[in-house]
Structure 1
Amino acid sequence: MKENNKLADLTLEELLVKQKKAKAAVIGLGIVMAIALIILIYLALKNKNYALLGVAGGSAITLLPSFIALKQIETEIKSRKS
């Protein structure tokens, strides 16, 4: 909830810049994460080390905070435009 207070203090232009940067970061990290997941799944199947499949599935959750922050920024922008 502290982030909402910070977002409320920013101007609309600053929010748009922050949204653009957050989207770029989520897309970049998502691409890197997808490549890492593919490599982990390949190695798990090749080496028959199926414990890596659990690591691959669990590591996808690491992007969740980034998505939440991006959604908060988008919500603040929508509330100001209406």
Structure 2
Amino acid sequence: MYSLHKLLWDIRKDPDLAERYLADPDPVLDSYGIGGEDRAAMRELDFKTMYERGFNPYLIYFCAIQLKVDRADYYARIRGEKN
């Protein structure tokens, strides 16, 4: 859980990391050692799954904003209305 929290925090604070993630998420996920269900949720930007798995909602939200996810889209995803 720590690795994904760290990634969410770092994306929120580092626009260059966010751009690298958007361009090609796999090397970024590899560098943080994120695998399994956490990796799948992060690759798909499945915010609902991240929330249900216990990740910090504040970090999820601000990471989504940094990754240029529209707020209305974010709220639809977190409610499970969109993937």
TM-score, normalised to structure 2's length?
0.29
Greater per-residue helix proportion: 1
Larger Rg: 1
TM-score, normalised to structure 1's length?
0.29
Higher relative contact order (CA 8 A, sep 6+): 1
